[in-house]
A and B are shown apart, each in its own frame.
With several copies, the nearest count.
Chain A
């Protein structure tokens, strides 16, 4: 059968994989770009309205929350840094030809992705707390990055595999060994592909740090819950908390989309 014909008739094996981060308003998706604008405007306007026209309790609330936001960011940033390190090692392990290393890395990914983050948090925080004593912030960061390291590993793996095999062959035939090839040739090219999904994971992680509130880490959500259960102002508190998260993730997803565009423009320098 004719090649062209075959191709046009086949149902392509498209793989859909929707990430857990925010919806990145990339330029190709005009609906999302306007939606971003609308959501951002809506969130900021609502926040302003509440603060100006209903200062009680909203002004009191917003004074209560900033240290929670700070903690949220701290946990997010430390976790993502650690997760990137774990992810790089995992990604390299996942593509390693050494069967043992490969199996360890793959099993780590399989197990982490098979257990709910919340359960992992409980486990690492309380269960392992019996054996090693670490401050709660550290435990939270370790638990988050242990989990996200697995996802990040898949990002690194995909990024590395996205570089054409010809690059490896060219480097190896010059005399570079496997690691030199990775370090001088593959990774410097792969980071462009890797950076946007890392940004995306950053946003997903920021959202998931809300789970550490259950470990009694005083993040944004925990602060909100404390305020609500004391003042009984549940509706007001969670409105505020949701708005703040929304504004933060919207800003971050805009930054990621700008980064994506920059990088894709750079491809042709």
Chain B
């Protein structure tokens, strides 16, 4: 499983919270354009792994290189790296004091020096893409959960990232809204975006993922393409987990 030219290199990474080992000696390499789905039981370290990739969590040991930047090099400007890596959270985290358009344009304007006109034009294109072009001028509280999450995706895309990270993007949604968000994600995947997705949506994993990673107790227990993963899991822990949820 040695990678050709990975855009994300997580090597031998461990992460402790006080006494809890959230990650133990994890390796993960992701190719440009690859879609990786991470699954595993609660507390297995999925979120922690994802969050180390843009250094929302600092690691205790190991190294992480994203798009050629060593995240722990003293010379690296972490804010620059984060512009390359979009992130979508379970709880959306839209900025409630700005309109949808404001949410989408603030970062490009303040961080990339775009003009307001450019930024708004792009924002409207992105809203079109996520299917809510008519919501540009409303405030986030007025949106349904599914709409909010689609805005959150558009906001991350507005920085034209090379990588997108998703941490259970549909877990806080009512069932009837999950589909609309997954559709947007699937479309993004078809466009060739590099994606790392933590999710419990097995249907999505099966259809979209190039590779599925199963974590347990802070370790990667098994990884395989979905066809093999769902039909012939090797590790007993994986088998048990799949039994429970399918």
Which positions in A face B, CB cutoff 8 Å?
A: 1-2, 4-6, 8-11, 164, 166-167, 169-177, 180, 184-185, 188-189, 267-269
Chain B residues contacting A172 (CB-CB under 8 Å) are 56, 82
Give which listed residue, B95, B144, B173, B177, contacts A170 with CB less than 8 A: B95
**Residues in B whose Cβ lies below 8 Å from that of A2:** 144-145, 172-174, 177
B107 A169 Cβ-Cβ under 8 A? no
CA distance A1 to B149 in the complex (A): 12
Please, which residues of chain B bring their CB within 8 A of the CB of A268? 141
Give complex CA distance A4, B54 in Å.
25
- State the Cβ distance, A146 to closest chain B Cβ, in Å: 32
Q: A4-B91, A166-B89, A177-B79 are in contact. Are A9 and B111 (CB under 8 A)?
A: no
**Does the CB pair A189–B144 fall under 8 Å?**
no
Interface flag for B211 (CB, 8 Å): no
Q: In the complex, are the beta carbons of A174 and B148 less than 8 A apart?
A: no
**CB of B167 to closest CB in A, whole Å:** 10
A174 contacts B107, C-beta separation under 8 Å: yes
Choose from B91, B96, B159 the contact partner of A174 (Cβ within 8 Å): B159
Query: With the chains together, A267 CA to B159 CA distance in Å?
Result: 28
Contact partner of B94 among A1, A9, A175, CB < 8 A?
Answer: A9
Q: How far is the CA of A169 from the CA of B95 in the complex (A)?
A: 11
User: Which residue, B56, B95, B155, has most C-beta atoms of chain A within 10 A?
Assistant: B95
B140 contacts the other chain (CB 8 A): yes
| B106: interface (CB < 8 Å) | yes
Q: List 6 A-B contacts (CB under 8 A).
A: A2-B172, A2-B174, A9-B140, A169-B89, A174-B156, A174-B159
Which residues of chain B are near A184, meaning CB under 8 Å?
Answer: 106, 110
B12 at the interface (CB under 8 A from A): no
Residue of A nearest to B139 (CB): A269
Report B165-187 CB contacts with A as 1/0, cut-off 8 Å.
00000001110010000000000
- A2-B145, A9-B140, A176-B110 are known; give 13 further A-B pairs, CB within 8 A: A1-B145, A2-B174, A4-B172, A5-B148, A8-B91, A9-B92, A166-B93, A171-B95, A173-B85, A174-B82, A174-B111, A176-B79, A176-B111
Contact partner of A269 (CB less than 8 A), chosen from B54, B106, B141, B177, is B141
**Pairwise interchain contact A189-B97, C-beta atoms closer than 8 A:** yes
Complex alpha-carbon distance, A172 and B159, angstroms: 13
B196 to chain A, nearest CB (A): 13
Contact B93 A10 (CB under 8 A): no
- Complex Cα distance, B86 from A172, in Å, reads 11
Contact, CB under 8 Å: A188 / B97: yes
Q: Pick the contact of B96 from A4, A9, A175, A176 — CB < 8 Å? A: A9
Contact partner of A9 (CB less than 8 A), chosen from B54, B79, B86, B141, is B141
The 9 closest A-B pairs by CB, nearest first: A5-B145, A170-B93, A175-B83, A8-B91, A173-B87, A166-B93, A2-B145, A174-B107, A175-B82
Q: Does B75 contact A (CB under 8 A)?
A: no
User: Which residues of A sit under 8 angstroms from B107, Cβ to Cβ?
Assistant: 174-176
Q: Are B148's CB and A9's CB within 8 A? A: yes
B91 touches A175 (CB 8 A): no
- Is B56 within 8 A of A173, CB to CB? yes
Nearest CB to that of A4 among chain B residues?
A: B172
Chain B residue contacts of A169, Cβ below 8 A: 56, 87, 89, 93
Q: Is B240 on the interface with A (CB-CB < 8 A)?
A: no
Q: Which residue of B lies closest to A166 (CB)?
A: B93
CB proximity to A under 8 Å, residues B9-64: 54, 56
Bound-complex Cα distance A8 to B155 (A): 18
In the complex, what residues of B have CB within 8 A of residue A177's CB?
A: 79
| Bound CA–CA A2/B141 (angstroms) | 11
Q: Which residues of A contact B93 (CB under 8 A)?
A: 8, 164, 166-167, 169-170
Task: Contact check, B91 vs A166: say whether CB atoms are below 8 A apart.
Answer: yes
Closest approach, in angstroms, between the C-beta of A33 and any C-beta of chain B? 18
Residues of the B chain whose Cβ atoms lie less than 8 Å from the Cβ of A4: 91, 145, 172
Docked complex: B120-146 residues within 8 A CB-CB of A: 139-142, 144-145
CA distance A85 to B49 in the complex (A): 40
Give every chain A residue within 8 A of B110 (Cβ-Cβ). Answer: 176, 180, 184
Q: Which A residues touch B86, using CB under 8 A? A: 173
In the complex the two chains form, what is the Cα distance from A174 to B92 in whole Å?
A: 13
Task: Return chain A residues, CB-CB under 8 Å to B140.
Answer: 9
Minimum distance in angstroms from B214 CB to a CB of chain A: 25
Task: Please report the C-alpha to C-alpha distance between residue A185 and residue B111 in the assembled complex, in whole angstroms.
Answer: 14
Shortest CB-to-CB span from A177 to chain B, Å, is: 5
